[in-house]
């Protein structure tokens, strides 16, 4: 019995072990990974697994490897043409499960990696909006310069409806102007930062140069519009991809619909059963039309306010009691209501001691606060630049909803631009964006979003529990973070402090400001590189 635990479920002959060992990372333990198998076969195996008393190795051997359509007589992988037959059989199994049992969860048993290149930031928001089942990673404007041309053109999305309209030249000229300014300003900003920042004697030339370049990119990245093209890689399961494609089809944006079609075609090559039901949702489309009309006819009167803020809109005023009772629950045998009664009668010293026992031993943010904190929710409304929304949008365990991108709420200008003499030029560029947006929005408001730079503010609300507040504020306040979202994290911490100080005492939020945020990270990279060189030289 491995490790003194349960015995391995099956015994196999030597010849069977030789065949099976190609498809599992070990043959002698109860924990193993499937390898060298198509995704659809892996998913089928696990689907069968839930309705069989056999081990997964036994299922593969008896129901797949002995099937000559899938594997050769020797047990080796079959030719490509036969593998297609294998996938068809696996897909047929999925169809039987989905139709016969209505069990959508089987579509989570296999996944795929897909790359979506040259997509706009606007559509990128749809790709990265999923909370469960998809893990996205986008090309970073902090580490990658967007100064290249392809076939003589800067990388911004040429929206078909705009390009076919009277606004085409206006749109094209402004997009190119944005990129021209970025290309010209990046070296100016980097040189200024290198000259203005005191040199850390412990930092190498490479670390210092990389940190200065990252800050220059941070200062200027929000001048780009929502049309700027980016690359996004996603790993997800079939169920999540099916709904993502449905959302793309239903978005009303030409780019998103075309991307949905391309993703559908490509994913159908590897996990076809999982995405076959993806299609435009009449419900999503009609809901959007009716809600936009309703919102337009019931819009409160008054001009748009040009401000930026983080507000705590609501929270559970009995939340502390609920959280403290939940802290005890896992370690108690008493009913939850009785524990809440006990908390009501507990003095402040007792409450402090309870919270200390639960949270004070956390060494850093990687020691996750416990689930008891999930019993208390907060709703924040944020008015920040669109670029900051895109950074906060990456968090999964929360509800985040934004309003459409416009130029109505004003824009942010990085203070560093004043020091380098580009403040007025940057403002002129943003003022011009207002004119471009207004002209396009008069005819096509949805498509006009492409013309708005990320410096312009949008409103969005974030609803999350206290556990996620811990995670978000601790992560986004780290020294190497962008100054804008560090301020949002710090303000959230201060707002929660104001209503539940007992619960936030052990929140490890960095409230300081830093001149060169990335330097410490670059120094750590230097140390790792040095260790690798040392190992290679031995």
Residue 86 has pLDDT above 90, yes or no: no
pLDDT for the residue numbered 82:
41
Tell me, what's the pLDDT at 74?
45
**Residue 1 pLDDT exceeds 60:** no
Give the least confident one: 185-199, 459-473, 517-531.
Answer: 517-531
Q: What does DSSP say about strands 111-120 and 399-402: parallel, antiparallel, or unpaired? A: unpaired
Judged against a pLDDT cut of 90, whether residue 143 lies above it is answered with no
pLDDT at res. 96 = 64
- Higher model confidence: residue 63 or residue 25? 25
pLDDT, residue 341, reads 96
Mean pLDDT of 61-86: 53
**Contact predicate 271/112, CB 8 Å:** yes
Per DSSP, helices labelled H in 237-377 are 238-249, 254-267, 272-275, 282-297, 319-329, 336-344, 348-359
Residue by residue, what is the 3-state secondary structure of 58-91?
A: HHHHHHHHCCCCCECCCCCECCHHHHHHHHHHHH
For 333, residues 6+ apart whose C-beta sits below 8 A from its C-beta are none
Indicate whether 330 pLDDT > 70: yes
More confident residue, 329 or 103: 329
* Cα distance between the two ends of the chain: 40
pLDDT of residue 85: 44
User: CA-CA distance, 251 to 494, in Å (whole number)?
Assistant: 37
CB 345 within 8 A of CB 526: no
pLDDT one-digit tens code per residue, 124-136? 999 999 888 999 9
pLDDT classification of 206: cutoffs 50, 70, 90: confident
Q: Report whether pLDDT(269) > 90.
A: no
- State which H helix or E strand residue 134 sits in: strand 134-138
164: which DSSP letter?
T
Domains of the chain: 2-108 (no CATH), 112-301+421-450 (3.30.1360), 309-404+457-507 (3.30.1360.170)
DSSP 456: B
* Ramachandran sector of residue 421 (left: φ over 0; alpha: ψ -120 to 50; beta: rest): left
Task: State residue 182's pLDDT score.
Answer: 97
Which residues, at least 6 apart from 194, have a Cβ–Cβ distance to it below 8 Å?
A: 208, 209, 212
Query: To the nearest whole percent, how much of the chain has pLDDT over 90?
Result: 60
- Give the separation between CA 332 and CA 334, rounded to whole angstroms: 6
* pLDDT tens, position by position, 384-440: 999 999 989 888 889 999 999 999 999 999 989 998 999 999 999 999 999 999 999
Tokens of 481: 């973070």
Half-sphere exposure in the Cβ direction for 83 (13 Å, CA): 13
pLDDT on residue 225: 97
Q: Tell me, what's the pLDDT at 83?
A: 45
Mean model confidence pLDDT for the chain: 87
Residue 476 CA to residue 348 CA, distance in Å, equals 31
Task: Provide the token pair at 243.
Answer: 């709904």
Average of pLDDT values for 157-167? 98
Pick from 316-330, 453-467, 519-533: least confident? 519-533
pLDDT at position 6 is: 61
**Full-prediction pTM beyond 0.85?**
no
CA distance 127 to 261: 14
pLDDT recorded at residue 42: 80
Distance CA 211, CA 514 (A): 12
**Would you state the pLDDT for residue 496?**
97
Per residue in 289-311, pLDDT (tens digit) is 999 999 989 888 766 677 889 99
Query: Which pLDDT score, from 0 to 100, does residue 31 have?
Result: 84
The 10 Å Cβ neighbour count of residue 459 is 19
Could you tell me if 250 and 281 are in contact, meaning their C-beta atoms sit under 8 angstroms apart?
A: yes
What is the predicted pLDDT for the residue at 316? 96
Buried-exposed string 304-343: b where 16+ CB fall within 10 A, e elsewhere: eeeebebebeebbeebbbbbbbbbbbeeeeeeeeebbebb
Residues 392-418: b if buried by 16+ CB within 10 A, e if exposed: bbebeebebebeebbbbbbbbbbebbe
Q: Decide: 36 and 90 in contact? Cβ < 8 Å.
A: no
Give the span between the Cα atoms of 4 and 501, in whole angstroms: 46
pLDDT of residue 516: 63
pLDDT level of residue 84 (50, 70, 90 thresholds) = very low
Residue 74 CB neighbour total at 10 angstroms: 8
pLDDT at 80 over 90: no
Cα–Cα distance between 407 and 306 in angstroms, integer? 10
Which helix (H) or strand (E) element contains residue 380?
Answer: strand 377-385
- CA distances from residue 208 to 99, 191, 351, 368, 527 in whole angstroms, order as listed: 59, 12, 47, 32, 14
Query: Tokens 């053109």 map to which residue?
Result: 153
Residue pair 91/47 in contact by the 8 Å Cβ criterion: no
């Amino acid at each position: 019995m491995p490790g003194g635990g349960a015995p391995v479920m099956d015994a196999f002959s030597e010849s069977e072990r030789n065949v099976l060992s190609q498809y599992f990372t070990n043959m002698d333990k109860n924990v193993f990974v499937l390898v060298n198998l198509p995704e659809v076969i892996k998913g089928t195996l696990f689907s069968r697994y839930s309705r069989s008393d056999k081990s997964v190795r036994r299922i593969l051997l008896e129901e797949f490897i002995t099937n000559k359509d899938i594997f050769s007589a020797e047990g080796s992988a079959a030719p490509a043409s036969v593998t297609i037959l294998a996938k068809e059989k696996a897909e047929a199994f999925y169809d039987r499960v989905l139709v016969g049992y209505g069990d959508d969860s089987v579509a989570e048993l296999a996944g795929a990696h897909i790359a979506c290149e040259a997509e706009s930031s606007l559509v990128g928001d749809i790709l990265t909006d999923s909370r469960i089942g998809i893990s996205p990673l986008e090309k970073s404007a902090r580490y990658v310069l967007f100064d290249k041309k392809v076939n003589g053109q800067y990388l911004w999305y040429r929206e078909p409806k705009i390009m076919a309209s009277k606004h085409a030249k206006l749109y094209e000229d402004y997009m190119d102007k944005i990129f021209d300014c970025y290309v010209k300003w990046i070296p100016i900003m980097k040189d200024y930062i290198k000259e203005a920042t005191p040199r850390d004697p412990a930092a190498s030339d490479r670390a210092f140069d990389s940190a200065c370049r990252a800050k220059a990119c941070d200062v200027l990245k929000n001048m780009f519009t929502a049309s700027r093209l980016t690359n996004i890689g996603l790993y997800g399961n079939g169920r999540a991809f099916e709904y993502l494609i449905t959302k793309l089809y239903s978005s009303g944006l030409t780019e998103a619909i075309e991307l949905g079609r391309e993703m559908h075609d490509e994913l159908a090559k590897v996990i076809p059963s999982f995405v076959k039901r993806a299609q435009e949702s009449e419900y999503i489309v009609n809901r959007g039309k009716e809600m936009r009309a309703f919102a337009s006819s019931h819009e409160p009167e008054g001009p748009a306010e040009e401000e930026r803020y983080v507000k705590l809109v609501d929270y559970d005023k009995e939340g502390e009691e609920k959280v403290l009772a939940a802290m005890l629950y896992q370690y108690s045998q008493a009913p939850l209501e009785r524990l809440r009664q006990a908390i009501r009668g507990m003095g402040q010293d007792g409450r402090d001691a309870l919270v200390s026992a639960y949270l004070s031993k956390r060494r850093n943010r990687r020691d996750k606060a416990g689930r008891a904190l999930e019993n208390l929710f907060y709703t924040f409304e944020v008015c920040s630049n669109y670029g900051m929304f895109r950074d906060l949008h990456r968090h999964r365990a929360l509800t985040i909803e934004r309003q459409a991108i416009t130029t109505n709420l004003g824009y942010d200008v990085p203070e560093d631009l004043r020091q380098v003499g580009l403040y007025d030029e940057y403002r002129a560029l943003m003022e011009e964006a207002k004119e471009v947006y207004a002209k396009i929005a008069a005819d096509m408001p949805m498509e006009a979003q492409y013309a708005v730079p990320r410096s312009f503010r949008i409103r969005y609300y974030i609803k999350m529990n206290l556990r996620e507040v811990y995670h978000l504020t601790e992560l986004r306040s780290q020294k190497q973070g962008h100054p804008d979202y560090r301020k949002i994290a710090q303000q959230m911490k201060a707002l929660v402090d104001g209503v539940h100080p007992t619960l936030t005492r052990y929140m490890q939020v960095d409230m300081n400001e830093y001149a060169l945020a990335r330097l410490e990270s670059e120094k750590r990279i230097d140390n790792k590189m040095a260790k690798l060189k040392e190992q290679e030289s031995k």
